[in-house]
Amino acid sequence: MLAHDHPMNAALANLHPDLQDLVGRTIAERYRVDALLGVGGMGAVFRGHHLGLHRDVAIKVLHPSLTRDPEISGRFDREARSASRLDHPNCLQITDYGSTEHDMKFMVMQLLDGSELTKLLGKPLAADRALELALQICRGLEHAHSQGVIHRDVKPENVFVTRDHEDRETLKLVDFGIAKIAGGSSGDPHKTRAGLIFGTPAYMSPEQAAGVEADERADLYALGIILYEMLAGRPPFVADDPVALVRMQVGADPPPLPPGVPPMVAAIVERLLAKQRDDRFSSAREVRDIIEAALVMLRPDASNSGAVQIAATASLTSGRIPVGRITLTSAAMPAMNTATLPPPPLRRPLPRRRLAIGAGAAAVGIVTLWIIGPAEPTPPVAADVAVAPSGSQPAPTTPAAGAEDVVHVQVIAASGPEASALAEIDRLLLSSNLDEADKLLAALRDEFPKDAQLSWRLGRLLAKRRGKRTQALVAYGVAIDVDPTLLDNNEFYAELHDLLRTPGARDEALDVALHQMGRYAHSFLLELVNNEKKPLSYAKRHRALDELQTNPANLAMINHRLNTALDLLQAQFSLTPCKSYADALTAVAAQPEYYYLPRVERSVPPVPAPTATDAREDPSACEGLVAKRDEVIALLATLEPSVGDTDGEIVIEDDGGTSPAPAKPAPAKSAGGTAKKPAKPQDCGKLRGVFKKKCWKQ
Which are the catalytic amino acids? Answer: 153
- Coarse DSSP helix, strand, coil percentages of the chain, rounded to the nearest 5 percent: 45, 10, 45
DSSP alpha helix (H) spans, 431-576: 434-447, 452-464, 469-482, 490-500, 506-512, 522-529, 538-548, 560-570
> Which residues neighbour 278 within 8 Å (Cβ) at sequence distance 6 or greater?
none
Distance, CA of 501 to CA of 527 (rounded, Å): 10
Burial 580-592 (b: 16+ CB within 10 A, else e): bbbbbbebbeeee
CB 404 within 8 A of CB 332: no
Of the candidates 275, 174, 283, 267, the residue with the CA atom closest to the CA atom of residue 228: 267
Secondary structure E strands in 288-427 = 320-323, 326-329, 366-371, 383-387, 407-412
Distance, CA of 287 to CA of 346 (rounded, Å): 22
Q: Is 381 helix (H, G, I), strand (E, B) or coil?
A: coil
DSSP state of 378: P
55: part of which helix (H) or strand (E)?
strand 55-62
Distance, CA of 272 to CA of 299 (rounded, Å): 22
Distance, CA of 547 to CA of 535 (rounded, Å): 17
Distance, CA of 209 to CA of 250 (rounded, Å): 7
**Pairing between β-strand 159-163 and β-strand 114-116 as defined by DSSP bridges:** antiparallel
3-state secondary structure 272-315: HCCCCHHHCCCCHHHHHHHHHHHHHHHCHHHCCCHHHHHHHHHH
Distance, CA of 119 to CA of 157 (rounded, Å): 9
CB 223 within 8 A of CB 139: no
* Distance from the first to the final alpha carbon of the chain: 82
CB 493 within 8 A of CB 520: yes
Distance, CA of 408 to CA of 282 (rounded, Å): 27
CA distances (Å), origin 324, targets 207, 275, 313, 332, 349:
17, 9, 19, 22, 11
CB 86 within 8 A of CB 110: no
CB 85 within 8 A of CB 149: yes
Burial environment of residue 180 by CB neighbours within 10 A (0 to 12, 13 to 18, 19 or more): buried
> Which residues neighbour 469 within 8 Å (Cβ) at sequence distance 6 or greater?
462, 463, 499, 502, 505
Chain centre distance of CA 136:
27
Plot region of 233 (φ>0 → left; ψ -120 to 50 → alpha; else → beta): left
Distance, CA of 101 to CA of 28 (rounded, Å): 8
Spatial strand order in the sheet of 114-116: 114-116, 159-163, 169-173
Of the candidates 136, 219, 209, the residue with the CA atom closest to the CA atom of residue 182: 219
Neighbouring CB atoms inside 10 A of 503's CB total 6
36: part of which helix (H) or strand (E)?
strand 31-39
